[in-house]
Structure 1
Amino acid sequence: MSAEKPWLASYAPGVPAEINADEFSSIPAVFAKSCALYRDRPAFSNMGKVLSYGRLDQLSMQFASFLRNTLKLEKGDRIALMMPNLLQYPIAIFGALRAGLIVVNTNPLYTSRELKHQLNDAGVSAILVLENFAATVAEVLHETPCKHVIVTRIGDMLDFPKSLITNFAVKHIKKMVPAFAIPHAISFTSALASGARQSLPAVEIAANDVAFLQYTGGTTGVAKGAMLTHRNLVANMQQVGAWFKSVVVLGEEIMITALPLYHIFALTCNCLVFINFGGLNVLITNPRDMPGFVKELKKSRFTSITGVNTLFNGLLNTPGFDEIDFSTLRTSFGGGMAVQRAVAERWKKTTGCILIEGYGMTESSPVATDNPMNALEYSGSVGLPVPSTELSIQDDDGKLLPQGENGEICIRGPQVMKGYWQRPEDTAKSITPDGWLKTGDIGNMDARGFFFIVDRKKDMILVSGFNVYPNEIEDVVALHPGVLEVAAVGVPDEKSGEAVKLVVVKKDPNLTAEDLRAHCKLYLTGYKLPKVIEFRTSLPKTNVGKILRRELRDAQPVGG
């Protein structure tokens, strides 16, 4: 077996080769187990309010009852959730899943065009939206099949009088709620009260039923809904759980959840994994307010944190972060985009905790690989395939490539999606007949089974016939102490076809383009050197902090 799967020999002690993807029949089955075991333990906290497992069980049951009894929604109907990290989110997720519905996670910062596409594509029957974003819903509602709108306010789950004060301040003092009119909208608190007066009918949920339509690809084309089944997500929860198990204490973990729960990374690795562990998720509503985020971190004796490279980098550059007590921090997990060596090394120096990098995608629920928990240093690798998962490197014809050669990374395992919602052609292009998910990422595997991402196929820069991978350039530039953030993109060039362009946010105001060119010459061969260097005050990013290289590339005139 290890001849075919060399990574198994590199597993940390105690990590199994396989997990039982069928131990739980559904996400509600996992939730029910944790609510019974950890009833009085804290499950989620936000803005000073804590929900115990018992209370979350009760409130999610009320929401499920409302959806089935009051709104008359049926098993398999779709409900969209459109809000940042608030206590309402887990109540709605577990309530909707218990009712047998399919959850459509929706980015609250969507434009009306993006929202309309998603609601129509998913055939959404109901939406729960934070009032701050309800104006967008109001704008497109009449052009969608969505019949029911539930509106919540930031302070709805806080205790009186804090709830009243918060809601008043958000609307009338901070003016954060644009005017909207949605006739027949129901308030979240009314929905819970309505559900409490009725009992939830029994719902049979099968492992292969779709739990989430998780939209992806919006930055590369039309957003598609990945159909993630209960089994997909339970399997990935088990896989990540088995990987982490040696360093967690059941019922005692405190996870900082700054990435939004509508993103697959936080949904699986924070919400599901730590619910299964009986842990507490500390929800950060606005992680972009870095000083406020650091203030929150100072209040908590947290044991785990997840994030993307830009989030870790942002924290490291926020005053006061280095004063936090990190003595309880055992796991820091980075994904969503490449973790840069300079950030990983500084993170370890500041926190005393290694930044473990993993890899995956929405279509794989998302985790496919992870670095071992007993690693001592940042390796630059995205790690080993997690239990019950195979990775292969394939060429454009689907032929397996030998160890060390660059090709497309392909994933096979129980966490791979059922397919794209109502897009059989796209599904057939992405998943081979023998079950391999084609990632569109270029990488290779070493002799010990560690995988390395070289880059996205579409982000590769072709300079005079040579492949240049932006991640490599960005890693080198990020080592310069005067650089805060960097993106490398290809721009048209008359001589070489394409040339490398750097877009840099300065940390040192005195940094010059010549400084960066001299720095790059120390580390990069001639054709990889940047021809164009532009300084900006910020880089365009998705709402979870991924740098939008495409936006930087598309903005370029011919000649860069």
Structure 2
Amino acid sequence: MKLQKMYEHIVDSNLCVENKLNYQSVIDLIIDRLHTNSDDNLFIDCTLNRKWTKKQVLDSSLNFAYYLINDCKLAKGEIICFVTQNSDIHAIGIIGSLAAGLVYCCQPHHSTESEIRDNVSKIKPSVLVCYEQNVEQVINIANSFPFVKKILMTDKPQDNSEHNIDFPISLENIFTIERDYQFKLPVNSQLTETATFVLSSGSTGQPKAIIKTNKNLLSTVEALAHREISKLTPNDIMLSSNFCHISGQRCLLSTIDGNAQLAIIRVDEDLEDVYHNIHKYNITTAFLIPTQLNYLAKHCDTIDKNYLKSLKDVVTGAASLSETTYRCIVDKFAFEKFRICYGMSEVGWVTQTPLCEIKNVDNNCIVGKVVPNTQIKIIDENGKSLPANTSGQICIGGEQVTPGYLENKEENEKLFTADGYLKSGDIGYYDDNHFIYIVGRIKDVINVERVIVRPAELESILLSHRDVMNTAVIGVKDEERIEVPMAFVTVVNGSQVTPKELIDYVDSRVNYYKKLRGGLKILEAFPMTSLKKINKSELRRLYT
């Protein structure tokens, strides 16, 4: 939706883009940067201690692009979906997919079969890319959908593999198959065309694919490349976020744009291993979520400042940071640059404290100022723009903002204001100096370790139990995991079911992130709204 110019109570960035990226697509930017100092290292796979130069990445990604077009007979705009963990192979696969003119997306590797099926049915990918641990699951899913033309794997299977199947060809092998050098690559793409999807889910529980155009992604890279925000240099080694998140895609693109190196950890749930690799590979910059910083704060006696002496620039976001953790990071670790940011998949990076103003910020509730290419306004329930120091819904405008969700007219109609700003679903305000504060969220989702959990799914499982009459699931704060699900139920008359039985019933049917770690309460009756809906706000007030 086109953003209309409205100047009343609009917060704009006081920073201008320093280096305009005059490219028509992200793949044009990538190819151009890979030709510069091509013998320099680009990727480090920390798990395998394997490094790739820019030249190796360029050759391998274009070989893969040629395979997708010539062997798989894929056309521009078709979708490739990775259901795999982070790796060097995955990163090169992203570049190759974009070079072939495909739309890239990634489903988290820990997803259940039903979650994968839901998203595959929604986005209709022509190619599914798996890894050895989920190859049989992905093959079973692909067989259910005739639009899936090809199944690939990232790495070559292990010699001692327990899977008794014919493995799909691996990207690792495809990278070594030389292309026809007369074939023109990359495929041309335009600013308004879709480059990637970021898979998400709304409070309705329905899977959604967030459209990210070339313009969206280039605008994010431009904004963060400002010297006051997060400019990277050839001396930097960045820790990669997961590629299924917008932060992971940003890490990949910003690293390439800045001629830096990207350090990739295959499984980042082991926090001890994360900090070990920061130490081992002299990583200089990282986006660390609050759960990772909580771990650091609680282990500050064993993981001290000297152990992480290479780490100069730390940005955190995705959830609120507790005052205790904030004080520990600021006082005990004293990173040269430490800031809290605010963003969302539908946009990218929205706010971050400029480096020149770090000394003016000593508050864990401040998420910075608006970055270049972005505007913010705060609105009330009637859509009216609000002045400074007045809380309301944060709405975001600018070139980073998605055009919407894939084939989801109902959600798209609710996503934007009349003048084209994206409704974040978050409550906040700005002060007289235009620092942004986040107060809370109005979205009915639960953020467990940066993984979005849908209450509707857990409610549906509980309602399938014979003793459950009604149910509601909310998120409650957890210092280790950001939030965890907590359930409430009313039961049929005469039932003797216990909370533990119901918790076990749910936990046996869901993955790690969806377990009812917040507990379960059996109520006599639910608080209800005037419309006879369960009042979740009242549940939070009464029980959390």
TM over 0.5: yes
Counterpart CA distance in 1 for 2:488 and 2:511 is 25
1:504-543 superposed matches below 5 A: none
For 1:437 and 1:220, the matched residues in 2 are separated by 18
Paired amino acid for 2:263? V
Q: Per-residue displacement from partner, 1:368-411 (whole Å, max 9, x unpaired)?
A: 11122231354221111111211111122211122212111100
Q: Is the 8 A contact 1:105 1:212 kept in 2?
A: no
Give the aligned partner of residue 127 of structure 1: 128
In structure 2, how many angstroms separate the alpha carbons of the residues matched to 1:7 and 1:180?
58
Q: Quote the residue 1:188 is aligned against.
A: 171
Cα distance in 1 for partners of 2:486, 2:271 equals 31
Greater RCO between the two (CA within 8 Å, min separation 6)?
A: 2
Aligned to 1:38: 37
Question: Which residue of 519, 522, 534 maps to 1:557?
Answer: 522
Correspondent of 2:220 among 236, 243, 247: 236
Deviation at 1:249, TM superposition (A): 5.8
Task: Answer whether contact 2:21 2:222 (CA < 8 A) is retained.
Answer: no
Q: Which amino acid aligns with 2:346?
A: E
Contact in 2 for aligned 1:207/1:231 (Cα 8 Å) = yes
Measured against aligned partners, the alpha-carbon deviations of 1:60-105 in whole angstroms (never above 9, x if no partner) come to 1111111011101000000011221211111111100011100021
- Bigger mean CA deviation after superposition, 381-390 or 228-237: 381-390
What is the deviation of 1:210?
A: 0.2
Which residue of 436, 439, 459 corresponds with 2:424? 439
Q: 1:223 to 1:283 in 2, by over 3 A?
A: same
Q: Tell me, which stretches of 5 or more residues in structure 2 are unaligned?
A: 1-5, 447-473, 491-506, 525-542
2:376 match: 391
**Is 1:26 aligned to residue 29 of structure 2?**
no
Partner of 2:282: 301
Question: What TM-score do you get using the length of structure 2 for normalisation?
Answer: 0.78
The one-letter amino acid paired with 2:523 is V
User: Helix, strand or coil: the match of 1:348?
Assistant: helix
Structure 2 match to 1:251: 234
Structure 1: how far apart are the matches of 2:350 and 2:435?
Answer: 12
Correspondences of 1:93-492 after superposition (within 5 Å): 93-144=94-145, 145-153=147-155, 156=156, 167-168=158-159, 172=161, 179=163, 181=165, 185-196=168-179, 200-202=183-185, 203-217=187-201, 221-242=205-226, 244=228, 248=231, 250-257=233-240, 259-268=241-250, 270-318=251-299, 320-322=302-304, 324-353=306-335, 354-364=337-347, 366-374=348-356, 375-376=358-359, 377-379=361-363, 380-458=365-443, 487=483
Against the structure 1 CA distance between its residues 454 and 542, is the aligned structure 2 distance closer, same or farther, given a 3 Å change threshold? farther
Deviation at 1:352, TM superposition (A): 1.9
Instruction: Specify which structure has the higher proportion of helix.
Output: 1
Change (3 A) 1:135 1:416: same
Structure 1 position 255, deviation (Å): 0.9
Partner AA of 1:266 in structure 2: G
Do the aligned partners of residues 100 and 555 (structure 1) sit closer, same or farther apart at CA in structure 2, a change above 3 Å counting? farther
Do the aligned partners of residues 323 and 382 (structure 1) sit closer, same or farther apart at CA in structure 2, a change above 3 Å counting? closer
Instruction: State the alpha-carbon separation in 1 of the partners of residues 287 and 423 from structure 2.
Output: 25
Aligned AA (2:382): D
Q: Using a 3 Å threshold, how does the CA distance of structure 1 residues 22 and 252 change in structure 2: closer, same or farther?
A: closer
Which AA in structure 2 matches 1:408? Q
CA distance in 2, matches of 1:290, 1:554: 25
What is the CA-CA distance between 1:557 and the residue it aligns to?
2.9
Query: 1:367 and 1:326, CA in 2 relative to 1: closer, same or farther beyond 3 A?
Result: same
Cα separation, 1, equivalents of 2:201 and 2:426? 14
| Separation in 2, partners of 1:327, 1:61 | 37
User: Offset at 1:5?
Assistant: 5.2
Q: Is the CA contact (8 Å cut-off) linking 2:11 and 2:370 kept in structure 1?
A: no
Q: Distance in 1 between matches of 2:238 and 2:188?
A: 31
- Note closer, same or farther for the CA distance 1:404–1:19 as it changes in structure 2 (3 Å cut): same
Which string of whole-angstrom CA distances, capped at 9 and with x for unpartnered residues, describes residues 215-234 of structure 1?
11167611100110011001
- Specify every segment of 5 or more residues in structure 1 that has no aligned partner in the other structure, as ranges: 157-163, 462-469, 479-483, 495-537
Report the residue type matching 1:122 in the other structure: I
Amino acid paired to 1:29: D
Q: Distance in 1 between matches of 2:233 and 2:485?
A: 44
- Kindly indicate whether the alpha-carbon contact (under 8 Å) linking 1:82 and 1:129 is maintained by their aligned counterparts in 2: yes
Q: Percent identity?
A: 22
CA distance in 2, matches of 1:486, 1:420: 26
Structure-2 change in CA distance of 1:317 and 1:284 (3 Å): farther
Q: Structure 1 residue 127: deviation in Å?
A: 1.4
For 2:69 and 2:482, the matched residues in 1 are separated by: 49
For each residue in 1:313-355, what CA deviation from the matched residue of structure 2 results, as whole angstroms up to 9, or x when unmatched? 1234347421644443321011111222221221233432153
Range with greater deviation from structure 2 (130-139 or 205-214): 130-139
Cα distance between partner residues in 1 of 2:206 and 2:8: 40
1:72 has 2:55 as partner: no
Change (3 A) 1:392 1:104: same
Inter-partner Cα distance in structure 2 for 1:490 and 1:140:
31
Scaled by the length of structure 1, what TM-score is found? Answer: 0.76
The answer (yes or no) to whether the contact 2:127–2:148 under 8 Å persists in 1 is yes
Question: Partners of 1:137 and 1:43 in 2: how far apart?
Answer: 30
Against the structure 1 CA distance between its residues 460 and 36, is the aligned structure 2 distance closer, same or farther, given a 3 Å change threshold? closer
Spell out, residue by residue over 1:280-332, the C-alpha distance to the aligned partner (whole angstroms, 9 max, x if none): 11111122223333332221222101121001212343474216444433210
Code of the residue aligned with 1:384 in structure 2: it is: K
Cα distance in structure 2, aligned partners of 1:243 and 1:57: 27
User: What is the total number of aligned residue pairs between the two structures?
Assistant: 468
1:224-277 residue CA offsets vs partner (Å, 9 max, x unmatched): 0011001100101111111556x75621111122x3122111211x21112111
Does the 8 A contact of 1:69 with 1:195 survive in 2? Answer: no
Judged with a 3 Å threshold, the aligned counterparts in structure 2 of structure 1 residues 400 and 253 are, in CA distance, closer, same or farther, namely same
Query: Relative to 1, partners in 2 of residues 1:122 and 1:298: Cα closer, same or farther, differing over 3 Å?
Result: same
> How much does 1:151 deviate?
1.4
Question: Which amino acid in 1 is paired with 2:154?
Answer: T
Pick closer, same or farther for the CA change 1:556–1:492 going to 2, 3 Å: closer
> SS of 2:388's equivalent?
coil
Shift in CA distance, 491/95, structure 1 to aligned 2, threshold 3 Å: closer
Which segment drifts farther, 49-58 or 326-335? Answer: 326-335
Please tell me the residue identity of whatever aligns with 2:239.
I
Other structure's SS at 1:329 match: coil
Residue 223 of structure 2: SS of its match in structure 1?
A: helix
Offset, 1:146 = 1.0
Q: Which residue identity does 2:282 align to in structure 1? A: R
Instruction: Report the secondary structure of 1:109's partner residue.
Output: coil
Give the secondary-structure state (helix, strand or coil) at the position aligned to 2:188: coil
Q: Distance in 2 between matches of 1:276 and 1:369?
A: 20
Contact 1:65 1:198 in 2 (8 A): no
Structure 2 vs 1, CA of residues 30 and 341 (structure 1 numbering), >3 Å: closer, same or farther?
Answer: farther
Q: Does the 8 Å CA contact 1:326/1:352 hold for their aligned counterparts?
A: no
